[in-house]
């Protein structure tokens, strides 16, 4: 099986129910092509280009957020019924747009078919790397949208945010303008990996010092080893600030260590 799938030890694989009498064990990157019928067997060679790869598909920030939310569910659980529970009405419209673009694929011959994410889009926007990666300057456009010239943040606000970050180890910013201004002020620290950042599904921006993350994220993982925990439970058990816990949970989720199974409740993957 290892030889047939071409596994080397560092690939993402999945095992899920395909029908009443069949299960699939495959590399994650091959799931979409397999279910769409573009390959009769899993090959260790390069994946053939699919329809999405042959087109220049533009993905918006809102669409990326919906794709990330889909990716919190295991493929076998990513059914319309389950997805409907974790998306709000505006996100459901975004999902339909992704389906129309063939970025999200549906195997229509199966009842309650799970949603698949096109491989090239998954590789570009969702592929997780081991360890928390620093936010690169050129990648900030994906996390923090550039502001029009008329949008300015007062210097006092920017300085206050820097002070809060240095004092608490994290800062939560409600607007893109504040996040963009802070990213420019901390450009060198971001480039060197001393500062991490992520935009969460709640549209807020969580900026974290690497030192704070390295010191405290292990406490969260230790608690989650006992089972799924809510944010409020983690606050009581770790005595850490709620926003700080959320910031670390979102970063851990981004790197693929934890998943938000339901609102404000997280579990190890």
Domain residue ranges in the chain: 2-125, 137-268
Position 206 scores a pLDDT of 92
Position 20 scores a pLDDT of 65
Position 49 scores a pLDDT of 37
The two beta strands, 13-19 and 195-199, are unpaired
**Exposed, middle or buried: residue 20 (CB in 10 Å: 0-12, 13-18, 19+)?**
exposed
Tokens of 15: 């095992």
Position 232 scores a pLDDT of 94
Tokens of 34: 């397999």
pLDDT average per 10 residues of sequence, the chain (269 residues): 78 68 72 44 35 59 84 80 88 90 74 77 62 43 41 60 91 85 81 84 88 93 92 94 94 83 85
Q: What are phi and psi of 196, to 5 degrees?
A: -115, 155
Position 18 scores a pLDDT of 59
Integer Cα distance of 254 and 126 in angstroms? 8
| In this structure, CATH architecture of domain 137-268 | Orthogonal Bundle (1.10)
Distances (CA, A) of 149 to 88, 123, 182, 202, 205: 32, 33, 16, 25, 20
Task: Tell me how many degrees the CA angle 233-236-240 measures, rounded to the nearest 5.
Answer: 110
Distances (CA, A) of 141 to 1, 59, 60, 77, 179: 41, 13, 11, 31, 11
Rg, Å, the chain Cα set: 20
Position 246 scores a pLDDT of 94
Position 240 scores a pLDDT of 94
Neighbours of 214 (CB within 10 A): 11
The residue written with tokens 């608690």 in the block is 223
Q: What are phi and psi of 33, to 5 degrees?
A: -65, -35
């Amino acid at each position: 099986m290892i030889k047939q799938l071409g596994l080397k030890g560092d690939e993402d694989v999945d095992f899920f129910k395909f029908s009443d009498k069949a299960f699939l064990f495959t590399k994650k990157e091959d799931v979409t092509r397999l279910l769409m019928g573009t390959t009769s067997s899993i090959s260790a060679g390069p994946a053939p280009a699919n329809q999405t790869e042959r087109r220049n598909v533009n993905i918006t920030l809102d669409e990326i957020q919906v794709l990330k939310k889909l990716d919190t569910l295991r493929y076998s659980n990513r059914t319309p019924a389950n997805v409907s529970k974790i998306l709000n009405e505006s996100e459901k419209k975004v999902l339909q747009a992704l389906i129309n673009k063939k970025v999200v694929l549906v195997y229509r011959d199966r009842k309650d078919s799970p949603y698949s994410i096109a491989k090239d889009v998954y590789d570009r926007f969702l592929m997780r790397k081991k360890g928390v990666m620093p936010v690169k300057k050129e990648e900030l456009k994906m996390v923090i949208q550039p502001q029009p010239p008329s949008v300015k943040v007062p210097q006092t606000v920017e300085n206050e945010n820097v002070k809060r970050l240095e004092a608490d180890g994290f800062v939560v910013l409600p607007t893109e303008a504040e996040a963009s201004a802070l990213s420019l002020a901390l450009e060198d620290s971001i480039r060197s990996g001393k500062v991490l950042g992520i935009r969460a599904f709640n549209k807020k921006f969580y900026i974290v010092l690497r030192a704070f993350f390295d010191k405290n994220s292990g406490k969260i993982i230790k608690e989650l080893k006992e089972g799924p925990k809510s944010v409020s439970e983690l606050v009581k058990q770790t005595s850490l600030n709620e926003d700080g816990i959320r910031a670390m949970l979102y970063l851990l989720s981004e790197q693929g260590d934890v998943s938000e199974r339901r609102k404000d409740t997280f579990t190890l993957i």
